[in-house]
Structure 1
Amino acid sequence: MEKVVLAFSGGLDTTVCVKLLEEKYDLEVITACVDVGQGEEEIKKAEEMADKIGSLKHYTIDAREEFANDYISKGIKANAEYEGYPLSTALARPLIAQKIIEIAEEENATAIAHGCTGKGNDQFRFEAVILSMSDLKIIAPIRELNLTRSEEIQYAKDHGLPLSSDKTYSIDENIWGRSIEGGNLEDPANEPSEEIYEWTASYKDSKDEPEKVIIEFEEGVPIAINGEMMGLIELINKANEIAGFNGVGRVDMIENRIIGLKSREIYEVPGAKLLIAAHKALEELVLTTDEIRFKELMSTIYADLVYRAMWQEPLREDLDQAIDNMQQRVSGKVSLKLFKGSIAPLTRESPFSLHDIDDISFEDKQTDQREVEGMIKHHALQAAKYQKLNK
């Protein structure tokens, strides 16, 4: 019998997929969970669920370090925010897909399966990588059988499949962020309840006094918080904790999905918001005017490529090279004030600063202010001629 490797979380969709792949596709199912920081509880849940439903074999792949150092670091350097929120789920999917391919090749499987529906973004993100990096067949049981969520639940009950929980919402989590969707959140007219949030304090429960935090960067990557050097994973976890306590990082938005649907999405990205805000503040100090303007364009394009499942697109690699070149000078420290969900830069310092206090000071006598008069006369010269002709 041929084998298939299923990207497995232990949730409703992937649990149902195991039985569907056996029953409808006549395949032996190997389940695989890639750990990108969704938490020990979720990893354990996937392992226990795989055992309960009797998958042929289950893999747990620890990819947290790789995710932080090879993906999140790029997201920070690029300031990768899509429609205003730092990308987390989209940034992890290419890595997960690559790890699933490696398992499939090791197991001599003929196909890879996922539990994505036909309405979301993840089907694109998984399949784009699989198609570009392998010749394996792709199976998407939920999409191919056109199943609704209620039909999945009934199928699970009919086949005696254990359901991991009765959660109303669909939640995806990694070390860079949490996404919450589904249930009554689908209607933008419904106010989200406080129970959906786990990483961030509400305005009422956040600290009543501002907190100052100092982030240090080396070539665009954060390396220390409040003077304490640490690895990127530890630093992200610390940033999540500090920012979350101060109510930073809640995003409630109407998002434009790849297939054109508008979707109400809620994100918790406290550490990402803090680190990207600090990174942008440092770039303002060390990059030239033209670099900053072009970087804003590159950031928008970069985030759009990642969101739209174009991680394999050569333009993304080209942008990485251009951004890395700029980031050689993005080293230094930024202090920020966090208070009731807000972030405000307080100080910036860098050995590569283009700001010269002597040049900008009102007390400067080295610069002859009169020299600018000739420049002013020729500034907007064509616009002045146009206005005179109009009269």
Structure 2
Amino acid sequence: MSDINKVVLAYSGGLDTSVILKWLQDKYQCEVVTFTADLGQGEEVEPARAKAQSLGIKEIYIEDLREEFARDFVFPMFRANAIYEGEYLLGTSIARPLIAKRLVEIAAQTGAQAVSHGATGKGNDQVRFELGAYGLNPNIKVIAPWREWDLLSRQKLLDYADQHGIPVEMKQGKKSPYSMDANLLHISYEGGILEDPWAEAEESMWRWSVAPETAPDKPTYLELTYEKGDIVAINGETMSPATVMSYLNKVAGENGIGRLDIVENRYVGMKSRGCYETPAGTVMLRAHRAIESLTLDREVAHLKDELMPRYASLIYNGYWWAPERKMMQTMIDASQQTVNGDVRIKLYKGNVIVVGRRSATDSLFDESMATFEDDAGAYDQKDAEGFIKLNALRLKIAGKKR
């Protein structure tokens, strides 16, 4: 990559990416452009500007992408009810395609030949960043320092920082033992005692939620309004996608909702134990399925459920920008045209309980047919006999052969 004279780095301002910034300058003798995204991680991103400036960076991009993240990535994913391996709500996975998109766009704006990230060679994120970058710009070059350098421990990174005058906050203080990633959808925890899948996570680790056993004794009721599969209002108050998620994170977290402890299968082949807090996502998934149960045709709903694991795997493995994900999204979005109405939920000690759903325009629930009372001829129960006999025909034939 001797032809690289400018690279765009996904920059957080932390130890890893600050070392990467200096390493890129030294190793590739190139100009570095930094890009820092606010995806709702709950931490101030502006200090990254001063840090980058102190390291000689002239082109610094710091962007608030919370609304774009919620509107164009999280909400479309939840229209599909996407969940990986039956549990994981894809909080880290869905953030990577947006970061890849902006890295490539900034590279085009600044004339950079390459992009760079701080993902390690063991994880999923390297795949997600790079598949996204190549899918959006086939000619882009990618520099992944963790696959090139020998700084393979925290101590080596600290030593490198000392040697090159890179400031490291809290270098002598107590450090969280966990590797964490946060955005509007979730916060994840890996490493430390979590590397033993038998060890219970420490209560002090969790940041966004109270323990279910210490949550309020009184339930919280919410009414979510849906338009075309997306939440547009809570308790009658219109909200933007990012505001919806911020509100639900707060209220659901206060009720002990959203904790998850799983061992998942990484795309690169290894198993990994991680803990997640996804308060808003937990509510959104439960409520969306509730409004769909009222407004979606049976076969449409079942087809969505059949395709969902494939859709979720595409996102987990980094194929957001792939043609098959886009094709599936078109189908999913078409199914949501009738997903309109309200869902009433009760939040109580770690539980999301659906207590009501309604749709004035698109409900397929016919009370005159479903009733256990006199249906006044809306459904002729005698018709069921022929229906059963025809469906039993092949079973009866096979039974006679036995």
**Do they superpose with TM above 0.5?**
yes
Could you tell me whether the CA contact under 8 Å between 2:104 and 2:115 is conserved in 1? Answer: yes
Distance 2:132 2:57 in 1: 24
2:294 aligns with 285
Question: Does residue 373 of the first structure (1) align with residue 378 of the second (2)?
Answer: no
Q: Which of 148, 152, 176 is equivalent to 1:144? A: 148
Q: Which moved more, 1:84-93 or 1:315-324?
A: 84-93
How big is the shift at 1:146?
4.2
Is 1:389 the equivalent of 2:401? yes
Partner in structure 1 of residue 7 of structure 2: 4
Is 1:123–2:135 an aligned residue pair? no
Question: Which residue among 201, 221, 232 is the counterpart of 1:223?
Answer: 232
Q: 1:335 to 1:29 in 2, by over 3 A?
A: same
CA contact (8 A) 2:46 2:62 kept: no
1:114 corresponds to 2:117: yes
Cα separation, 2, equivalents of 1:4 and 1:267: 32
- Structure 1 residue 224, shift from structure 2 partner: 1.0
Aligned partners of 2:5 and 2:112 also within 8 Å: yes
Report if the CA contact (8 A) 2:258-2:282 is conserved.
yes
Change beyond 3 A, Cα 1:17–1:356: same
- 1:264 Cα deviation after fit: 0.7
Shift of 1:338: 1.4
Report what 2:342 is aligned to: 333
Please say if residues 67 and 240 of structure 2, whose CA atoms lie closer than 8 Å, have aligned partners that are also in contact: no
Counterpart residue number, 2:108: 105
> Is this contact kept in 1: 2:37–2:62, CA < 8 A?
yes
Residue 371 (structure 2) aligns with: 361
Tell me the residue number matched to 2:274.
265
Determine the C-alpha separation between the residues in 2 that align with 1:87 and 1:313: 17
- 1:198 and 2:207 equivalent? yes
Supply the distance in 1 between the matched residues of 2:27 and 2:144 (Cα, whole angstroms): 12
Aligned partner of 1:88 in structure 2 is 91
Range with greater deviation from structure 2 (214-223 or 145-154): 145-154
- Once residues 65 and 296 of structure 1 are traced to their aligned partners in structure 2, the CA distance between those partners, rounded to angstroms, is 28
What residue identity is the alignment partner of 1:301?
R
- CA shift, 1:252, in A, is 0.7
Secondary structure in structure 2 of the residue aligned to 1:109: coil
AA of the residue aligned to 2:376: K
Distance 1:227 1:27, change over 3 A: same
SS of the equivalent of 1:354 reads coil
Deviation at 1:207, TM superposition (A): 1.3
In the aligned structure 1, how far is the partner of 2:216 from the partner of 2:42?
25
Q: Secondary structure at the match of 2:338?
A: coil
Which whole-Å CA distance do the structure 2 matches of 1:316 and 1:172 have between them?
24
Shift of 1:263: 0.5
Displacement of 1:368? 3.2
Alpha-carbon distance in 1 for matches of 2:98, 2:123: 18
1:49 is matched with 51
Deviation (angstroms), 1:76: 1.5
Match of 1:301 in 2: 310
- Checking the alignment, whether the CA contact within 8 Å between 1:53 and 1:162 is kept in structure 2 is no
| Equivalent-residue separation in structure 2 for 1:243 and 1:124 (angstroms) | 32
Mapped partners of 1:38, 1:222: distance in 2: 21
Residues 172, 178 of structure 1: 8 Å contact kept? yes
Paired with 1:199 and 1:73, the residues of 2 have a C-alpha distance of 21
Cα deviation, residue 40, structure 1:
4.6
Cα distance change, pair 369–137 in 1 and its aligned pair in 2 (3 A):
closer
CA contact (8 A) 2:223 2:342 kept: yes
Contact 1:203 1:247 survives alignment (8 Å): yes
- Which residue identity does 1:162 align to in structure 2? P
Q: Hey, what does 2:60 align to over in structure 1?
A: 58
Letter in 1 for 2:365: H
Verify: 1:153 aligned to 2:158, yes or no: yes
- Answer yes or no: is the 8 Å Cα contact 1:246–1:339 preserved in 2: yes
* Partner secondary structure for residue 379 of structure 1: helix
Q: Which amino acid aligns with 1:45?
A: P
351-360 vs 379-388, which moves further? 379-388
2: distance between equivalents of 1:389 and 1:80? 43
**Structure-2 separation of matches of 1:136 and 1:164:** 33
The alpha-carbon distance between structure 1 residues 148 and 92, as it changes in their structure 2 partners (threshold 3 A), is same
State whether residues 261 and 276 of structure 2, in contact with CA within 8 Å, keep that contact through their aligned partners in structure 1: yes
* Helix, strand or coil at the partner of 1:119: coil
Q: How many residues align?
A: 389
